Amino acid sequence: MQQLSPDSLLAAVRDWVLIESPTQDAAAVNRVADHATGLLAALGARIERIPGEDGLGDILIGRIPGESEGPGILLLGHMDTVHPVGTLAGPLPFRIEGDRAYGPGIYDMKGGNAIAMSALAHLHATGRRPHLPVTVMMIPDEEAGSPFSRAHIEAEARRHQLVFVVEPSGEGGKLTIARHGIARYHMTTTGLPAHAGAYHAKGRSAIREMARQVLAIEAMTDYSRTIVLNVGTISGGTHENMVPIHCEACIYVLVPTGEAEAEVRAALMALRPVDPDVRLDIRPGLFRPPYVKTPAIQALYDHASSLARELGFAIAGERVAGGGSDGNFTGALGVPTLDGLGVIGDGPHTHHEYLEISCLVPRTQLLVRLFETAGA
């Protein structure tokens, strides 16, 4: 990409968005991987592809040489979205309204992937290279917590000096310098069935027990400490005239530190049924560990902010993000991680998801300069 213009960058974004890729549709996600493979191959990258497991798409890796050798930059992006195939033809078509471009995954995070690839393509087209080697790693299952990809992400991060994550920029253009941890727990209650009319008193309701537990769990939320517990999904019962024998729920937990996560885990695992005739089981699920700002992350942020000023714009500031990303894994390992380098916009995971077209050129220019100068 010789010239970085709003039109050329928006066209690059559109190419990503028009390939719908819900996490659970491996073939759809792999179509995005095929698109990204073509972009990376055109830059002379060495391509690796790790076949997906458990019905998930592939991990795509492209290795681009730098002016220097040794540990380089790991660039993380994810190819999957939460939007099912058909969203483009239905509630969220790709469209432009003023300074906004709409589409499924355009903000989270196909816009970020597109500008990162465009930044690398611009360096290639103008006869330049990144200062450090760059490993582009495209993940197929981030929206599901990266159950397949986590081990591969951590292994790559340990071999690199820095990590850039092109998740969307938050709060109007801030960069992410820390993230809270995200944990999931799965709870089931098992009661005693009975006919709900003739023998109701003989039954023990799994749903009623779950309702009591939901109130206790959500009461553990402490906003002053940024500890949040949300029972996000719940299901149970088989028929309205039967006392329900089974109920299950998924609990989403936000924690600021590892200590807070251990505290919440102990409280959840200590829960006991209110009705002694109902069995209560709870098991931990996926966990994205929290990470905090370090002096090395602060130095990365300060460098990015300085580069932005040289380019004629200002970074909106730094933020600690509540939502998780694959940067949680790399930051928790102690590898300096700068997240939120993607596009500015809003509406992730909704039918009004958009990016601001006016951000495309400056944010891409910032990535160009970061690739040229990081580690120099």
Q: Do 350 and 257 fall into the same domain? A: no
pLDDT at position 376: 84
How many Å apart are CA 287 and CA 183, to the nearest integer?
4
For the chain, how many residues are written? 376
Please give the residue range of the domain that contains residue 263.
181-288
Q: Are residues 151 and 298 in the same domain?
A: yes
Q: Take residue 168 and report the two structure tokens written for it.
A: 């969307």
| DSSP H/E element including 300 | helix 295-311
pLDDT tens-digit profile of 179-238? Answer: 999 999 999 999 999 999 999 999 999 999 999 999 999 999 999 999 999 999 999 999
pLDDT of the residue at 256: 93
Neighbouring C-beta atoms of residue 230, cutoff 10 Å: 13
Measured distance CA(37)–CA(16) in Å, rounded? 12
Q: What is the CATH number of the domain that holds 81?
A: 3.40.630.10
pLDDT tens figures, 251-277:
999 999 999 999 999 999 999 999 999
Strand partners, 253: 183, 229
Q: Are residues 227 and 360 in the same domain?
A: no
What mean pLDDT value characterizes the chain?
97
| Structure confidence at residue 94 (pLDDT) | 98
Q: What angle do CA 326, 328, 334 make, to 5 degrees?
A: 120
Among candidate residues 270, 288, 306, the one where a domain is terminated: 288
Domain count, the chain: 2
Q: Could you give the residue ranges of the DSSP H alpha helices within 110-178?
A: 111-125, 150-158
Question: Do 126 and 17 fall into the same domain?
Answer: yes
Reading the block at residue 35, the tokens are 């698109």
Only one residue has tokens 């936000």, namely: 254
The answer to whether 277 and 291 have CB atoms below 8 angstroms apart is: no
- Residue 285 · residue 186 · CB < 8 Å: yes
**163 shares a domain with 65:** yes
Closest by alpha carbon to 98, among 10, 166, 170? 10
Give the tens place of pLDDT for each residue, 27-62.
999 999 999 999 999 999 999 999 999 999 999 999
pLDDT above 90 for 323 = no
1 domain-assigned: no
Sort 93 into a burial class: Cβ within 10 Å, 0-12 / 13-18 / 19+.
Answer: exposed
Q: Which two tokens stand for residue 102?
A: 């709409």
CATH code of the domain containing 195:
3.30.70.360
Chain segment 288-318, per-residue pLDDT in tens: 999 999 999 999 999 999 999 999 999 999 9
- Kindly state whether residues 252 and 327 are assigned to the same domain: no
Last residue of a domain, one of 288, 314, 333: 288
Q: How confident is the model at residue 247 (pLDDT cuts 50, 70, 90)?
A: very high
End-to-end CA distance of the chain: 24
**% of the chain beyond a pLDDT of 90:** 97
Give the helix, strand, coil percentages of the chain, each rounded to 5: 35, 25, 40
Q: What percent of the chain has pLDDT over 70?
A: 100
Residues 309, 234: one domain?
no
174 and 38, same structural domain? yes
Predicted local distance difference test score (pLDDT) of residue 322: 86
Q: Residues 339-354: pLDDT tens digits?
A: 999 999 999 999 999 9
What sign does the dihedral 311-40-73-182 (CA atoms) show? positive
Query: Would residue 89 count as lying in a domain?
Result: yes
Query: Same structural domain for residues 158 and 220?
Result: no
Residues 245, 315, single domain; the answer is: no
Domain co-membership, 202 together with 138: no
Handedness of CA 24, 26, 32, 36 (dihedral sign): positive
The residue assigned the tokens 């495309």 is 360
User: Last residue of some domain: 263, 288, 313?
Assistant: 288
Query: pLDDT value at position 103?
Result: 98
Per-residue pLDDT for 366 more than 80? yes
Asked whether residue 141 falls in the same domain as residue 157, the answer is yes
